[in-house]
Amino acid sequence: MPRTSSPDGLGELLDRQLSVVTRRQLLTLGLTDRAMQYRVRPGGPWQVLLPGIYLSANGPPSMGQKEMAALLYGGPGSVITGPAALMHHSIRSPLRLDAIDLLVPAQRQRRDVSFVRLQRTARMPPKIASAGPVRLVLAPRAVADTAWRLTSLRDVRAVVADAVQIGRCSVSQLIAELNEGPVRGSAMFRSALAEVAEGIRSTAEADLRGLIRVNRLPMPMYNPSLYENDAFLGQPDAWWPDAGVVAEVDSREWHLSPEDWDRTRRRHDRMAAAGIILLHFSPNQIRREPAEVVRMIKQALKRGISRPPLPIRTIPCPGSGTKGTTRSA
């Protein structure tokens, strides 16, 4: 029977690497191949996660342990990107976490295996983030690498808008990733960035923008800050200053608590008290009843234009490139 006692330094190594270790590391510590095989035997205390990568436990591996195994398999300098990295940055992804995307230097010879999907690149990130022992790309690179894998503009919009909305990265940082990355397959990423640069903050807002464009309605300002004198009124989804009309996309996606809903109600009350015509649309209504949404917008714009202008001061959303508009009664 093989010697099963643990060599000196193994416990410390396992603690540092989330109980994941490579064959080479074990050999360096003095453990023989025979002893390794005994530990990973059927019913044994260890298991094989990837070729040459062991987990010193026999239960299902955690996400962190799978990430650690992927990095050890990828080798020195490898770094996690894509949806797994988005998860660490608290950015939502439409892709299932059925694989861990790993950036490795272009010259490194490794193949996809099990839950590891390799991306060879000559553009290894100069800076990285970490989640404990796990190395991952910064948020802008994670968004870009995910966007290039997506096949739906709506999904790309969702990732880009969420990343900017929650402040994980700026539009300028994403534009830099777009310009430095491959041109092929970048069309949807470029389109989504253009929308966010105009002030679009969510997929539902992008749907509203598309509906307005297709039906050739007057273009509003997206997510500007509105003031009456020095009093802040709100930052509506869409604002037509000439008519004093606001369109809001009411989605529980961004209002997950009673406190959020109460803040939204108070904001709407302030805008209504200032004479603004408020329109409310749900994401489903925009997708399923586009003709009704267009009719309501046209009716509100006609009504707004026919009355005296409102004394509302407008400051455009940062980065939108839209000039502010000030109206006086």
pLDDT confidence bin for 56, thresholds 50/70/90: very high
Q: For residue 328, what pLDDT is reported?
A: 35
187-197 vs 203-214: helix crossing angle, rounded to 10 = 90
Alpha carbons 259 and 264: distance in angstroms, whole number:
9
CA angle 176, 182, 183 (to 5 degrees): 95
pTM for this predicted structure: 0.74
What amino acid occupies position 312? I
| Average pLDDT score over residue span 215-238 | 93
- Round to the nearest angstrom and report the end-to-end CA distance of the chain: 92
Average pLDDT taken over every residue of the chain: 89
Alpha carbons 236 and 241: distance in angstroms, whole number:
12
Beta carbons of 64 and 18 less than 8 angstroms apart: yes
pLDDT tens readout for residues 126-149 = 999 999 999 999 999 999 999 999
Count the neighbouring beta carbons within 10 Å of the beta carbon of residue 187: 11
pLDDT tens readout for residues 282-310 = 988 998 999 999 999 999 999 999 999 99
Q: For residue 6, what pLDDT is reported?
A: 72
pLDDT confidence bin for 5, thresholds 50/70/90: low
Sign of the CA dihedral with 246 first, then 252, 256, and 262 last:
positive
pLDDT confidence bin for 318, thresholds 50/70/90: low
- Return the SS3 of 7: coil
| Average pLDDT score over residue span 184-195 | 90
| Average pLDDT score over residue span 213-225 | 93
CA angle 69, 75, 77 (to 5 degrees): 110
pLDDT confidence bin for 329, thresholds 50/70/90: very low
Given a cut of 50, whether residue 219 has pLDDT beyond it is yes
Alpha carbons 207 and 213: distance in angstroms, whole number:
10
Q: For residue 128, what pLDDT is reported?
A: 96
**Which residues on adjacent β-strands are paired with residue 231?**
228
Residue-range domain boundaries for the chain: 10-61, 65-197, 203-315
**Which position has the token pair 């955690």?**
62
- DSSP-derived secondary structure letter, 326: B
Alpha carbons 2 and 34: distance in angstroms, whole number:
7
Alpha carbons 13 and 17: distance in angstroms, whole number:
6
Alpha carbons 260 and 273: distance in angstroms, whole number:
20
Return the biggest CA–CA distance within the chain.
Answer: 93
Given a cut of 70, whether residue 121 has pLDDT beyond it is yes
For residue 175, what are the CA distances in angstroms to 58, 120, 159, 171, 261? Answer: 45, 22, 14, 6, 33
| Average pLDDT score over residue span 202-207 | 83
Q: For residue 308, what pLDDT is reported?
A: 94
DSSP secondary structure of 227-292: EETTEEEE--SEEETTTTEEEEE--GGG--SHHHHHHHHHHHHHHHHTTPEEEEE-HHHHHH-HHH
CATH architecture of structural domain 203-315: 3-Layer(aba) Sandwich (3.40)
**Which position has the token pair 């455009």?**
316
- Return the SS3 of 79: strand
| Average pLDDT score over residue span 1-5 | 52
pLDDT tens readout for residues 65-105 = 999 999 999 999 999 999 999 999 999 998 888 899 999 99
Q: For residue 257, what pLDDT is reported?
A: 53
Where are the alpha helices (H) located in 198-281, listed in sequence order?
203-214, 258-273
